[in-house]
Homo-oligomer: A and B are copies of this chain.
Amino acid sequence: MKESWSAFDTFEHHFRPLVVIELAKDAKEETKEWLTQRIVDKKKNGGAQLLVKPLVKEDGGKIDGNQNVYLVGASHIRLLLGAETVGLVKECNDNSMRTFTYSSRNTFKDFAEDNHDFLTMAERQYIIKHELENLRAKDERMIPGYPQAKLYPGKSIMRRLMTSGILLQIFPLHDTEELKKLRDTWYGQVKISYQPLDQIRCYFGETIALYFGFLEYFTFALVPMAFIGIPYYVFAWEDYDKYVMFASFNLLWSTVILEVWKRCCAIMTYRWGTLLMKRQFEEPRPGFHGVLGINPVTGREEPVYSSIKRQIRIYLVSLPFVCLCLYFSLYVMMIYFELETWALDFHEENESYFSKLMLFLPSIIYAIVIEMMNRIYRYAAEFLTSWENHRLESSHQNHLILKVLVFNFLNCFASLFYIAFVLFDMKLLRQSLATLLITSQILNQFVEALLPYWLQKRHNKKAKKRVYSIKVDTDLSLFEQVNLEKEMGTYLGTFDDYLELFLQFGYVSLFSCVYPLAAVFAVLNNITEMYSDALKICRVFKRPFSQPTANIGVWQLAFETMSIISVVTNCALIGLSPQVNALFPDSKTDLILIVVLAEHILLALKFVMAFVIPDKPRDIQIKLARLEFESLEALKQQQMKLAAESLKEETHGEKKMN
């Protein structure tokens, strides 16, 4: 091990910048020196042993003002050792997937000492990010130059720099050439093709590739629903039995697609190696704080935080707060409906141009209030989740998602539920559903991708003019590239994209028997969504860091819960429909009982199906079992060796005694 770590002591001639660090303009020299020293310092001294270079103009001249942008890279061997640290899984020569180790590097496919592309650029950047984030304070009590920025042993330095406002951002650089290639295959041609998921994964990492994989899968899965939904619209079918059939098909279909997605996901992530990555040995997330202690699993030193304290925070603070917010949101909705009736009454009483305007007022106010609540709640949720102090990034994300999800669900669907089950107005429901679905889709695409793209383009042009080159999009110097990219917006993760899909799934399935056409709109939206999302991630935002992941996490649960709720709502809607009511003129009781029975049977069917369909295809199961078997055998081997050694020592001892 020692040999390897010292093998790259000499500064590499061929420095390839991978990650950019931007410090505050007024950061002190002292701090900068200390930071760069810590970054290049040897591992054994507690450094990250990376390469770091200030950003300078190509002609070598210093730029004006303070130097505050640094480029970080690493030698080839350092990256390989880092790949071992983060536990990357790569394909071996015998086509099996294995955890990469530096010493077994020759057994891996496509490995060669001079093949610098063995690790994808996304992986290299992920390794550097990981190393930077895990650069921890030793005996420093504070950040040099900033006495108020306290440090304690084990505290992540980058995190403290960030919270103190000294570090503005860390982001990975684009590879203009690769990006161009990717864009060409992805959305360059106007032809229908599958998403280039493997390429996306190589460039942006697994989380984003998995999102596009899910988006594509989900769109394909919606196509049958859309096809079956069209004739309902075209022929204006209103028959009871046809609606029941459509709803039943929808409900079972949604179970099947969610179960099958797990299998598809397992196939993909096995190929990408993330299915095998062990998440429980993750390093604590950078924001995690606690007293320095020993991790009971790995035996390594790291911050430790009592799980009971976290539980108390979750259940005694976060949970009541979320409930309160939900209650408040419902309260606001009730006010909106009251305002609505009041406006209607007002309009009827004194009809005028002003009263007509007044009719729109409640909706506008409600929309604004909802948007405001959403934003405030999002901040609160982020603050609370940070405060809960989860050890793992994944667990932090899950808790955040759960909080935001519940609130968004209520905000989006509460009014529809109210219309359907309190006002019993199916016409209004269909109308509201269509309006909400279509406007939200159009608005989303505009706000999310097209508008930022246009702004970005304008901004780029201006920026380029300032940086004295008008060559658009081609052959930018590194200096220009960094300066352009650092001004781009930050992609905040797949959260909002998944949320959009989740709400769309809600519109499609919750009231599917009232509005079968929803699936058609969803499919159309998703096709353009693929393009606009691709555009967004390639052109609008800074390149995001890759994040290895094995599944879509809590979203799977969210979609499954939605599909369970939709069974209940659809059954209830069918029970409420006048056609069905006409079938039971005498007794509403029989009707309700039959509907409830049908609902229970459907729910039972869903659970049986979820239980019967295995989550992983058989061949993946076998491969995983084989790996586990091998690792067990290896453990046995090691124990044997230890035992043999201890035996030897014992006999030695005995001999001496004799």
Contacts and interface: CB of A to CB of B under 8 A. Distances in A.
A341 interface: no
Interface stretch (A199-207, A350-358, A501-509, A587-595): A587-595
Contact of A104 (B589, B631, B634, B640): B640
Contacts of A470: none
B630 A635 contact: yes
Contact of A631 (B299, B618, B635, B650): B635
Contacts of A99: 632, 635-636, 639
A291 interface: no
Main secondary structure of the interface of A (DSSP, over half): helix
Given A307-B618, A592-B592, A629 B101 contact: no
A625 interface: yes
A276 to B, nearest CB: 10
Given A103-B644, A629-B281, A637 B639 contact: no
A617 to B, nearest CB: 11
Contacts of A62: none
Contacts of A278: 628-629, 632
Interface in A282-298: 296-298
A625 B280 contact: yes
Interface in A106-129: 106-107
A622 interface: yes
Interface in A602-643: 618, 622, 625-626, 628-632, 634-640, 642-643
A235 to B, nearest CB: 33
Nearest to A619: B296
Contact of A637 (B98, B296, B297, B638): B638
A118 B600 CA distance: 54
A426 interface: no
B647 A106 contact: yes
Contacts of A636: 84, 99, 101, 104
A107 B626 contact: no
Given A99-B635, A589-B592, A596-B596, A628 B280 contact: yes
A525 to B, nearest CB: 30
B639 A107 contact: yes
Given A280-B628, A307-B618, A600-B568, A639 B589 contact: no
Contacts of A625: 280-281, 297
A487 to B, nearest CB: 42
Given A593-B592, A618-B307, A634-B637, A629 B298 contact: yes
A105 interface: yes
A361 B575 CA distance: 44
Given A106-B646, A588-B589, A644-B103, A296 B639 contact: no
Contacts of A640: 101, 103-104
Contact of A296 (B280, B626, B646): B626
Contacts of A104: 636, 639-640, 642-643
Contacts of A628: 278, 280
Contacts of A632: 99, 278, 281, 631
A500 B632 CA distance: 38
A281 B629 CA distance: 7
Residue of A105, A618, A631 with most chain B CB atoms under a 10 A cut-off: A631
Interface in A538-576: 568
Nearest to A641: B103
Contacts of A296: 622, 626
A513 to B, nearest CB: 18
A637 B625 CA distance: 20
A297 B626 contact: yes
A625 B636 CA distance: 17
Contacts of A629: 278, 280-281, 297-298
A638 B640 CA distance: 12
Contacts of A280: 625, 628-629
A297 B647 CA distance: 32
A646 B106 CA distance: 8
A643 B307 contact: no
Contacts of A596: 592, 596
A326 to B, nearest CB: 15
Nearest to A307: B618
Given A628-B280, A639-B101, A107 B634 contact: no
B592 A98 contact: no
A259 to B, nearest CB: 16
Contacts of A101: 636, 639-640, 643
Contact of A105 (B568, B622, B638, B643): B643
Highest count of chain B CB atoms <10 Å: which of A98, A104, A307? A104
Given A592-B592, A635-B631, A642 B307 contact: no
A634 B630 CA distance: 10
Interface of A: 84, 98-99, 101, 103-107, 278, 280-281, 296-299, 307, 568, 588-589, 592-593, 596, 600, 618, 622, 625-626, 628-632, 634-640, 642-644, 646-647, 650
20 contacts: A98-B639, A99-B632, A101-B643, A104-B639, A104-B640, A106-B646, A106-B647, A281-B632, A297-B622, A297-B625, A297-B626, A297-B629, A307-B618, A589-B592, A592-B592, A592-B593, A631-B635, A634-B635, A635-B635, A637-B638
Closest CB pairs A-B (n = 8)? A104-B639, A103-B640, A104-B643, A103-B643, A631-B635, A634-B638, A634-B635, A297-B625
Given A281-B632, A297-B625, 15 more contacts: A101-B636, A101-B643, A104-B636, A104-B643, A105-B643, A106-B643, A106-B646, A107-B646, A278-B628, A280-B629, A296-B622, A296-B626, A592-B592, A631-B635, A634-B635
